[in-house]
């Protein structure tokens, strides 16, 4: 019963987090920058037009500019990753400011309504779907307040209908474009991170993870560099498809014996690697030996039923106090791998 309550609580927390994420910015840094730009442009335009038309800046324009300027300062003073709800608050405050200015100046003309478009455009370009829907709904409500308060009913209906359609078109088109762009970027990121043949992580991901382990001085971090022995002979005997099958087979054996926290990568060609974090040296050595034994005792079976015996050579290195760069850990593991090869292959050597 207690486990059920805990699971229900975790699911509620997860649902709440997903709900909040739907109102968040796609890119907090970009959202903050463009929010400030939109607010400043609105301030300058209102102050300039007010000064020209009234031969002096009217009090309402000054008050509205002050509110938007204060919000801009708050956004700029907070780090991008801590802007949080203020990101969604920015366009909502903008909508309220436009409504207030229009009502105070009794301006429901085109110049009075045009700035309602700014929050919608910004939200559609920067926020996720929930935030876009919220800002579009708030802008539509603000437009309704202005036109139904200041215009004759017939004119109010016309203006409201046209502006609402415009808001929906802008938010729909831009949101759709952002979603397509996000999917393309994610696909490119996956292509850059996942080896298409083996399904393992790429060298780029391994380099980043190893550099982070060295930078944060993860004491129990070990790197295993692995070579598939006599890979050229396999290619010459069974063709490149046979070589690909051998690499995929070894990759599967490695991943099947790794923890979720381990990072298994293809370095390039027939060279693979396993980065093990929070793994004492003795444990890492035992697990690396299991990799070697598993490949030796599990031959590759070809489509015609033929069994191809395989072996790997492995070099193990554990992060030492003297290592200051990822290259130091690579060099130690590579030196150990060279010793394993010179000793006859099909074995593990530890630095």
pLDDT by residue for the chain (351 residues), tens only, comes to: 555 554 455 566 666 667 666 777 778 787 778 777 777 777 676 666 656 555 444 666 667 667 777 777 777 777 766 666 668 888 888 888 888 888 888 888 887 788 899 899 989 988 888 889 999 999 999 999 999 999 999 999 999 999 999 999 999 999 888 888 888 877 777 777 899 899 999 999 999 999 888 887 766 889 999 999 999 999 899 888 999 999 999 999 999 999 888 999 999 899 999 999 888 889 999 999 999 999 999 999 988 888 999 999 999 998 877 777 889 899 999 999 999 999 999 999 998
If asked whether residues 212 and 128 sit together in one domain, one would say no
pLDDT for position 217: 73
If asked whether residues 143 and 174 sit together in one domain, one would say yes
Q: Specify whether the backbone of 226 is left (phi greater than 0), alpha (psi in -120 to 50) or beta.
A: beta
Which residues, 6+ apart, have CB-to-CB distance to 84 below 8 Å? none
If asked whether residues 313 and 213 sit together in one domain, one would say yes
If asked whether residues 140 and 246 sit together in one domain, one would say no
Residue 198 lies in a domain: no
- Which residue range forms the structural domain that includes residue 291? 203-350
pLDDT for position 247: 95
If asked whether residues 35 and 156 sit together in one domain, one would say yes
Residue 62 lies in a domain: yes
If asked whether residues 220 and 302 sit together in one domain, one would say yes
Residue 224 lies in a domain: yes
pLDDT for position 139: 95
pLDDT for position 227: 95
Residue 323 lies in a domain: yes
Residue 320 lies in a domain: yes
- 95: phi then psi, degrees, rounded to nearest 5: -60, -50
Residue 94 lies in a domain: yes
If asked whether residues 159 and 280 sit together in one domain, one would say no
Q: Please tell me the total count of domains within the chain.
A: 2
Tokens 């335009």 sit on residue: 45
If asked whether residues 65 and 32 sit together in one domain, one would say yes
- 309: phi then psi, degrees, rounded to nearest 5: -70, 140
> At which of 132, 161, 192 does a domain end?
192
> At which of 161, 192, 223 does a domain end?
192
Residue 197 lies in a domain: no
Query: In whole angstroms, what is the distance from residue 287 CA to residue 224 CA?
Result: 10
> At which of 192, 219, 246 does a domain end?
192
pLDDT for position 83: 66
If asked whether residues 154 and 182 sit together in one domain, one would say yes
If asked whether residues 159 and 20 sit together in one domain, one would say yes
Query: In whole angstroms, what is the distance from residue 133 CA to residue 227 CA?
Result: 53
If asked whether residues 150 and 207 sit together in one domain, one would say no
Strands (E) in the chain, as ranges, are: 222-228, 263-268, 271-276, 300-301, 307-308, 312-318, 348-350
CATH of the domain at 224: 3.30.70.270
pLDDT for position 206: 92
If asked whether residues 180 and 87 sit together in one domain, one would say yes
């Amino acid at each position: 019963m207690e486990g059920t309550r805990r699971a229900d609580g975790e699911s509620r927390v997860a649902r709440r987090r997903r709900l909040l994420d739907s109102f968040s910015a796609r890119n907090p840094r970009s959202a903050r920058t463009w929010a400030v730009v939109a607010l400043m442009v609105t301030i300058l335009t209102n102050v300039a037009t007010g000064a020209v038309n009234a031969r002096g800046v009217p009090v309402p324009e000054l008050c509205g500019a002050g509110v938007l300027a204060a919000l801009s300062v708050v956004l700029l003073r907070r780090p991008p990753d801590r802007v949080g709800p203020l990101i969604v608050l920015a366009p909502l405050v903008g909508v309220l400011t436009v409504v207030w200015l229009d009502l105070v100046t009794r301006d429901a003309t085109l110049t009075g309504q045009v700035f309602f478009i700014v929050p919608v455009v910004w939200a559609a370009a920067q926020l996720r779907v929930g935030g876009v829907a919220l800002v579009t709904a708030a802008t539509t409500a603000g437009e309704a307040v202005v036109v139904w308060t200041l215009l004759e009913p017939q004119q109010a209906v016309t203006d409201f209908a046209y502006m609402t359609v415009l808001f929906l078109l802008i938010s729909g088109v831009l949101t759709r474009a952002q979603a397509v762009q996000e999917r393309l970027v994610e696909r490119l990121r996956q292509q850059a991170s996942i080896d298409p043949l083996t399904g393992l992580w790429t060298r780029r991901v391994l380099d980043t993870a190893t550099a982070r382990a060295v930078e944060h001085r993860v004491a129990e971090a070990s790197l295993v560099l692995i070579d598939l022995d006599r890979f050229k002979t396999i290619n010459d005997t069974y063709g490149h498809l046979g070589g690909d099958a051998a690499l995929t087979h070894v990759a599967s054996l490695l991943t099947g014996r790794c923890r979720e926290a381990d990072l298994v990568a293809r370095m390039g060609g027939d060279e693979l690697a396993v980065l093990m974090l929070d793994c004492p040296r003795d444990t890492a050595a035992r697990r690396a030996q299991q990799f070697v034994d598993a490949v030796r005792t599990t031959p590759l079976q070809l489509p015609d039923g033929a069994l191809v015996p395989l072996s790997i050579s492995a070099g193990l290195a554990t992060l030492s106090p003297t290592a200051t760069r990822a290259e130091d850990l690579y060099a130690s593991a590579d030196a150990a791998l060279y010793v394993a090869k010179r000793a006859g292959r099909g074995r593990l050597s530890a630095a």
